[in-house]
Amino acid sequence: MIEKKSSLPFAGAGPKSPPSTTPGSRRPGDGAAAPVARGSGAASRAEEPPHAGEAGKRTPVAELKEGQEVRQTFLVNRSELRTTRAGDSFVAADLQDRTGLIRANCWGAGEDVLAIFHQGGVVEVKARVESYNGALQLKVRDARPIDPKETDPADLLPATPCDVDQLWRDLEALAAGVVHPWVSKLFTAFLSDPEFASRFRRAPAAASMHHAYIGGLLEHTVSCMRLALLAADHYPEVERDLLLIGMFLHDVGKIDELMYDTSIGYSAAGMLLGHIPLGVELLRRKAGAIEGFPERLLDHLTHIILSHHNTKEFGSPVPPATVEALIIHYLECLDGKTHAMLRDRKRGQPDAEFSETSRNFNYRLYRGPSPLA
Give the residue extent of every domain in the chain: 4-153, 157-343
pLDDT at 5: 36
Q: What are phi and psi of 284, to 5 degrees?
A: -70, -30
- Could you please state the CATH topology (level 3) that the domain comprising 4-153 is classified under: OB fold (Dihydrolipoamide Acetyltransferase, E2P) (2.40.50)
Q: Closest by alpha carbon to 356, among 127, 102, 140?
A: 102
pLDDT at 221: 98
User: pLDDT of 330-339, one tens digit each?
Assistant: 999 999 999 9
Whether the pLDDT of residue 35 is over 60: the answer is no
Q: How many CB atoms lie within 10 A of CB 26?
A: 12
Tell me the C-alpha distance between 259 and 277, whole Å. 17
Instruction: Transcribe 174-197 into DSSP letters.
Output: HHHT---HHHHHHHHHHHT-HHHH
State the average pLDDT over residues 207-225: 92
Average per-residue pLDDT for the chain: 85
Q: Please give the model's pTM, rounded to 2 decimal places.
A: 0.72
Whether the pLDDT of residue 85 is over 70: the answer is yes
pLDDT at 7: 32
pLDDT band at 51 (very low <50, low <70, confident <90, very high): very low
Which residues contact residue 134 at a Cβ distance below 8 angstroms, ignoring those fewer than 6 apart?
Answer: 348, 349, 352, 354, 355, 356
Whether the pLDDT of residue 93 is over 90: the answer is yes
pLDDT at 372: 94
Tell me the C-alpha distance between 70 and 142, whole Å. 11
Tell me the C-alpha distance between 110 and 88, whole Å. 9
CA dihedral 360, 146, 21, 40 (to 10 degrees): 150
Tell me the C-alpha distance between 281 and 303, whole Å. 12
Q: Closest by alpha carbon to 316, among 253, 266, 372?
A: 253
Amino acid identity for residue 133 in this structure: N
3-state DSSP call for residue 154?
helix
3-state DSSP call for residue 138?
strand
User: pLDDT of 110-158, one tens digit each?
Assistant: 999 999 998 888 999 999 999 987 789 999 999 999 988 888 877 888 8
Instruction: Transcribe 304-339 into DSSP letters.
Output: HHHHTT-SGGGT-SS---SHHHHHHHHHHHHHHHHH
pLDDT at 171: 98
Whether the pLDDT of residue 182 is over 70: the answer is yes
Tell me the C-alpha distance between 165 and 223, whole Å. 15
Which residues contact residue 337 at a Cβ distance below 8 angstroms, ignoring those fewer than 6 apart?
Answer: 210, 360
Q: What are phi and psi of 138, to 5 degrees?
A: -105, 130
Tell me the C-alpha distance between 59 and 187, whole Å. 43
State the average pLDDT over residues 181-192: 98
Kind and range of the H or E run holding 275: helix 275-288
3-state DSSP call for residue 15?
coil
Whether the pLDDT of residue 83 is over 90: the answer is yes
Radius of gyration for the chain, computed over Cα atoms and rounded to the nearest angstrom = 23
pLDDT band at 37 (very low <50, low <70, confident <90, very high): low
User: pLDDT of 249-288, one tens digit each?
Assistant: 999 999 999 988 877 889 999 999 999 999 999 999 999 9
Tell me the C-alpha distance between 191 and 237, whole Å. 28
State the average pLDDT over residues 316-325: 96
**Structural domain 157-343, CATH architecture:** Orthogonal Bundle (1.10)
Which residues contact residue 235 at a Cβ distance below 8 angstroms, ignoring those fewer than 6 apart?
Answer: 323, 327
**Side-chain half-sphere CA neighbours of 86 within 13 A:** 10
Amino acid identity for residue 6 in this structure: S
From residue 286, alpha-carbon distances to 65, 127, 193, 197 in Å are 50, 49, 10, 13
CA angle 221-223-227, nearest 5°? 115
pLDDT at 250: 97
pLDDT band at 168 (very low <50, low <70, confident <90, very high): very high
Whether the pLDDT of residue 193 is over 60: the answer is yes
